Structure 1
Amino acid sequence: MKTVLLINASPHGDDSHAHQLALELVAVLQQQHQGLELIERDLGAYPLPPLGTDYARALTSNTPFDSPAFEVSEAMIAELERSDVLLIATPMHNFTVPAALKLWIDYVLRIQRTFKSTAKGKVGLLEDRPVHVVVGSGGFHRGERARQPDFLTVYLRYALNTIGLFDLQFTYLQGLVLGQEVVQAAIEQARRELSLTPLFSNLVCN
C-alpha cells in the first residue's frame, strides 16, 4: 500500500465529523504503512467546475483523452488510479449524496475511460481497491430510529461498482444534530465497528 485518496464532500470542511473520523482512519493506515502518501481532495473548499458544453460534446465524440475538455476529469481519474485505498467522507443531503460528490462522480464515471458499455451492461475498467465511505447525517436513516430513506448507499455503491470498485464498506454517523452526547456516542460506536475490520484494526477506541 502506497497511497490513500481521501474525498471530503462536506461543506463544513475540517469541522465535519465524518471527515475527522476519516482522518483517524488515515492515521491508522499511516501507522501500518510507513511512507504512506495521502491525497486529499476537499470538494467544499475547492469545488469542481460544473460540467459544460465542451465536456458534453467530448463525451459523445472520439475526443482524445488529453483534450482540454477532459482536463478536470483526467485529473480526478488519475488521483483515483494512483490510490490503493479510497476514503470518502460525505454528508447525506436530501436522502442522497451532496451535489459536490455527485459532480466528482460525474467526472470519474466516464464512458470508454473508467467503464465500457457492452451488450450485457456497463463494465468497469479500473482495478478494484478497498473503498470506505463515512456518512454523516443529522437524522436517522438506519436502525430502529430510522425516519427517512437512504438513497445514498445504493446510489454510491452502484456508481462505484460501475467503474470497477466492488470492495466497499460504509460507516454511518447518525443523529449529528441532536447534541454533543449523541454525536460522541455515534463516533464511539463507529470506532468500535471499524476496529473490527482488518484495514483499521489498529484504530484506538476510547
Structure 2
Amino acid sequence: MNILHIDCSPRPESQSRQLSAAIVKKLLDVAPGASISRRDFAAAPLPHASSDYATALSSPATLAAPPKGALELSEALIQEVEAADVIVIGTPMNNLTVPSVFKAWIDQILRAGRTFMSTPAGKVGMLRDRPVFIGIASGGVFTGDRANQPDFLTPYLSVVLGSIGLTTQQFLSVQATAFLDRDQATLARDKALAAIDLTVIREVPCL
C-alpha cells in the first residue's frame, strides 16, 4: 500500500500535523509494509498557477495544444495521486476554508480531460476512488451546538475531491485549538481518531 501524506500547516508542531501523523500511524498499524510519499506544502510550497498553465486550461483548443511544459507540474501531482492507495491530508482551517498552499495543489490536480470530464450535469471524476482521510485543526468551533463560525472547508473539499472521483472521504477534526492546553489538545485528537473507520482500506486492491 502506498500512502500519500500531505501537510499544509506552516507550524511544525501544529495540531493538523499531529492529527495527520496519527492517522498515518493508524494506517501503518493495519498495513505495516506500506510506503509513504510525502508532500509538505510549508517546507516546499507549490507555485500558484502560472500564466502558461492558466492559458492551457482556458479552452479546449489550448488544452489540446498547451504551451511547452505548462502541464508538467500538474501531471506530476496527478500521478502522485494515481500512485497512492490512500491519501492522508492534514490542514488547518484558515479563515473558514483551506489555506492557499492547499488551494494551489487543488488547482493543479483538477484538470479537465485528465481528472474530470465536464458534462451538462457537472464534473464527472476520471480517477479511481481510494480512501481519503482529512485531518482538520481549527482555532474556533465549526460543528455542534457550540459552533461559532461557519464551515466552508469540509463541503468544499468534499465536492472538489468527489469531482475527480475521490468519493471515499473521512473528515476528522480537532476544534477550538486556540483555547486548548496540551493535555486538552491530546484528548481532542484522541477523540477525533476514535471516529476513524479503517474498514475502508480493506477495499484497497493491494491489501
TM-score after normalising by structure 2: 0.89
Which of 35, 38, 62 is equivalent to 1:37?
Answer: 35
Equivalent-residue separation in structure 2 for 1:63 and 1:70 (angstroms): 11
Trace 1:160-199 onto structure 2 (pairs within 5 A). 160-180=161-181, 181-194=183-196, 197-198=198-199
The 1-side partners of 2:199 and 2:56 are apart by 42
After TM superposition, where is structure 1 displaced by more than 3 Å over at least 4 residues in a row? 62-67
Q: Which residue identity lines up with residue 189 of structure 2 in the other structure?
A: I
Aligned-pair distance for 1:188?
2.1
Distance in 2, Cα, partners of 1:41 & 1:9: 9
Q: Deviations along 1:182-202, whole A, 9 cap, x unmatched?
A: 3123112112222x54359xx
1:137-180 Cα deviation digits (max 9, x unpaired): 01111112110000001000000011011101100100111131
Distance 1:35 1:91 in 2: 29
Unaligned runs of 5+ in 2: 202-207
Letter in 1 for 2:199: P
Other-structure match for 2:114 = 113
Contact 2:23 2:193 in 1 (8 A): no
Percent of residue pairs bearing the same amino acid type: 42
Asked whether 1:47 is paired with 2:45, we answer yes
Aligned length: 197
- CA offsets, 1:46-78, max 9 Å, x none? 010121111111113144689411111111101
Structure 1 Cα separation of the partners of residues 26 and 67 of structure 2: 36
1:1-40 equivalences under 5 Å are 2-13=1-12, 15-40=13-38
2-side partners of 1:51 and 1:173: how far apart? 31
SS in 1 for 2:194: helix
